[in-house]
Amino acid sequence: MGIRYVSAATLAETGAPVDAVPEKSRPPLPVLEDVRPASKPLVSSPIVDGAKPQWLTASPDTLRAMELLAFDRDICECQNCPLGKTRKNFVFGTGNPEAEILFVGEAPGADEDAQGLPFVGRAGQLLTKIIESTKTWKRGDVFICNVLKCRPPGNRTPLPEEVEQCRPYLEEQINIIKPKLIMALGASAAQALLKTKDSVGKLRNKWHDYAGIPLRVTYHPAALLRFDGYKKDVWEDMKELTAKYTDLKGK
């Protein structure tokens, strides 16, 4: 099968909402336009400046990694909403592009904004513990991102118009990663992904469908830090997630 190099912008034209994003000063990434299995290592690497980004926890040499790297590069200077002016860093996400599990949170907080990585503050450390307590995944095995890629000032709840501006970025990340399962962390993530106004309490304890991907809802780790009583529920939700994963793997 032939391989043709196309620019990241060309790749993005097939679905990524990049119209209003200015070109980056870094040289464009080579991106493979090919339909080989995404997990198969490729011969060339997209790392042109010798350093892989901090958010990538796995090899950059897969089609999915290349697509995610190109997508990050295309959108990371976004100014589509006012949060672009107040952020320190655009927070794309972190993890393994080959991840089978995607965790989606609300928006970067102060620590995430400072480091350019999601879930690195207190709630993030708790999320790592929650993920690793399953004994099924390490943090670096999964992919973690937020509905909003930029920090709302003062950590306020994302505005509906911010969610709508940022939604295509999350949708494209899901489209590239193609996780087997999604865990929505808290109301903002659940409501954005499921296009509902229902509460976490109402959305928990059942499987939902996001574009054919089974989706579960649990409490946000920050809520857990405030109210210990949610611990048991989150543990139950993680047990459901791992059971479903085991079930899917067995098929």
Q: Which residues in the 4-43 window bind ligand URA by CB under 6 A?
A: none
Query: Which parts of the chain are beta strand (E)?
Result: 4-6, 31-33, 94-95, 101-105, 143-146, 181-185, 208-210, 213-218
Task: Please state at what angle helix 63-75 crosses helix 160-177, rounded to 10 degrees.
Answer: 160
| Surface-to-core class of residue 3, CB atoms within 10 Å of its CB (0-12 exposed, 13-18 middle, 19+ buried) | exposed
Q: Which CB, 9 or 76, lies closer to ligand URA? A: 76
- Do the strands 94-95 and 143-146 form a parallel or antiparallel pair, or are they unpaired? antiparallel
Which range of residues in 4-12, 82-90, 114-122, 195-203 is near ligand URA by CB under 6 A?
114-122
Q: Which CB, 79 or 157, lies closer to ligand URA? A: 157
- Residue 251 CB, shortest distance to ligand URA, in Å, is 32
Q: Phi then psi for 175, rounded to 5 degrees?
A: -65, -35
What residue has token string 């489209």?
175
Among 118, 152, 179, 214, binds ligand URA (CB under 6 A): 118
> Minimal CB distance to ligand URA: which residue?
105
Among 72, 74, 98, 106, binds ligand URA (CB under 6 A): 106
Q: How many residues bind ligand URA (CB under 6 A)?
A: 13
Provide the 3-class DSSP secondary structure of residue 213.
Answer: strand
| Rg over CA atoms, the chain | 18
CB 90 within 8 A of CB 145: no
Q: Which CB, 31 or 241, lies closer to ligand URA? A: 241
Site for ligand URA contains 109 (CB under 6 A):
yes
Site for ligand URA contains 103 (CB under 6 A):
no
Which range of residues in 16-24, 39-47, 72-80, 119-127 is near ligand URA by CB under 6 A?
119-127
Among 98, 112, 162, 237, binds ligand URA (CB under 6 A): 112
Tell me how far apart the alpha carbons of residues 53 and 240 are, in angstroms, rounded to a whole number: 32
Q: Which residues in the 122-181 window bind ligand URA by CB under 6 A?
A: 123-124, 146
Tell me how far apart the alpha carbons of residues 213 and 227 are, in angstroms, rounded to a whole number: 30
Q: Which CB, 61 or 233, lies closer to ligand URA? A: 233
- C-alpha dihedral sign at 219, 93, 68, 43: negative
- Residue 198 CB, shortest distance to ligand URA, in Å, is 18
- Residue 13 CB, shortest distance to ligand URA, in Å, is 29
Q: Which CB, 17 or 186, lies closer to ligand URA? A: 186
Site for ligand URA contains 119 (CB under 6 A):
yes
Angle (CA) 117 122 128, round 5°: 70
Q: Could you list the residues that contact ligand URA (CB under 6 A)? A: 105-109, 112, 118-119, 121, 123-124, 146, 222
